[in-house]
């Protein structure tokens, strides 16, 4: 399972030169583009920093967890203490939860600032796209999926915090509800309102030029 997840992150890296490759869609890219659509000047950080900061955080978290699971599985196989492997997994998940908390906080604060500004102060070049039904539903799906993954990560942290063989790991109803169901909801939301479909056509016509202008201004 962890190997498959690692391949998924490889896909994110490969997507760098084509943000709309359906095989390599990034989780943070749609939020990054949304910052351009509402107004880059409102954000605490430049739009491009979202992926540059949080994707490496995901990769680091993943590598820590893989290392922990390898040690954990080896300990279980040899019937020795699982404490070291369990602690490493906890460290990886904790880092993931911390990064997600920062990402959600930055995003929530950004949209609060957008609301404070009012529609008249938002990026006029993207007004049509910003007010479209497709964009509204896609943004809602992204928020829902992010919250589901955050809750799932918090549950995983609670799982391992009590030990590999603790009660949360043996409670199947809790596991299905807070692991499988949450991931399924996130997956269905993003499949129903796929960011790649939402941004693909309109992005190149209405948003790409504005993003390039913003990047040039920041570089200058």
List, for residues 108-156, the tens digit of each pLDDT value: 999 999 988 888 788 888 888 888 888 889 899 999 999 999 999 888 8
Contact between 113 and 103 (Cβ < 8 Å): no
- Number of independent structural domains in the chain: 1
98: part of which helix (H) or strand (E)?
helix 83-117
pLDDT bracket for residue 212 (50, 70, 90)? low
Task: Give the Cα separation of 149 and 183 in Å (integer).
Answer: 7
Residue 38's nearest CA partner among 104, 116, 102 is 116
Question: Who's near 81: CB < 8 A, 6+ residues apart?
Answer: 75
Task: Give the Cα separation of 71 and 64 in Å (integer).
Answer: 11
Question: Who's near 174: CB < 8 A, 6+ residues apart?
Answer: 155, 168
List, for residues 92-111, the tens digit of each pLDDT value: 999 999 999 999 999 999 99
List, for residues 10-59, the tens digit of each pLDDT value: 444 444 444 433 333 466 888 888 888 898 888 888 888 888 899 899 89
Q: Which residue has the higher pLDDT, 92 or 219?
A: 92
pTM recorded for the entire structure? 0.73
For residue 27, what pLDDT is reported? 65
Task: Give the Cα separation of 66 and 84 in Å (integer).
Answer: 13
Domain encompassing residue 191: 2-219
pLDDT at 157 over 50: yes
């Amino acid at each position: 399972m962890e190997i498959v997840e690692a391949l998924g992150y490889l896909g994110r890296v490969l997507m760098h030169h084509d943000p709309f490759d359906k095989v390599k869609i990034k989780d943070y890219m749609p939020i990054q583009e949304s910052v351009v659509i509402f107004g880059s000047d409102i954000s605490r950080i430049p739009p491009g920093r979202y992926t540059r900061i949080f994707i490496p955080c995901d990769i680091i978290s993943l590598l820590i967890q893989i290392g922990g699971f390898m040690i954990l599985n080896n300990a279980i196989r040899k019937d020795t203490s699982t404490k070291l492997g369990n602690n490493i997994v906890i460290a990886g998940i904790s880092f993931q939860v911390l990064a997600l908390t920062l990402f959600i906080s930055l995003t929530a604060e950004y949209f609060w600032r957008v609301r404070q500004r009012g529609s008249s102060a938002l990026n006029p070049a993207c007004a049509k796209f910003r007010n479209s039904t497709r964009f509204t539903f896609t943004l809602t799906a992204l928020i829902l999926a992010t919250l589901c993954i955050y809750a799932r990560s918090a549950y995983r942290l609670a799982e391992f915090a009590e030990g590999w063989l603790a009660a949360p790991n043996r409670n199947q109803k809790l596991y299905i509800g807070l692991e499988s169901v949450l991931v399924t909801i996130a997956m269905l939301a993003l499949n129903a309102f796929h960011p790649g479909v939402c941004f693909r056509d309109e992005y190149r016509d209405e948003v790409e030029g504005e993003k390039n202008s913003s990047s040039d201004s920041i570089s200058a």
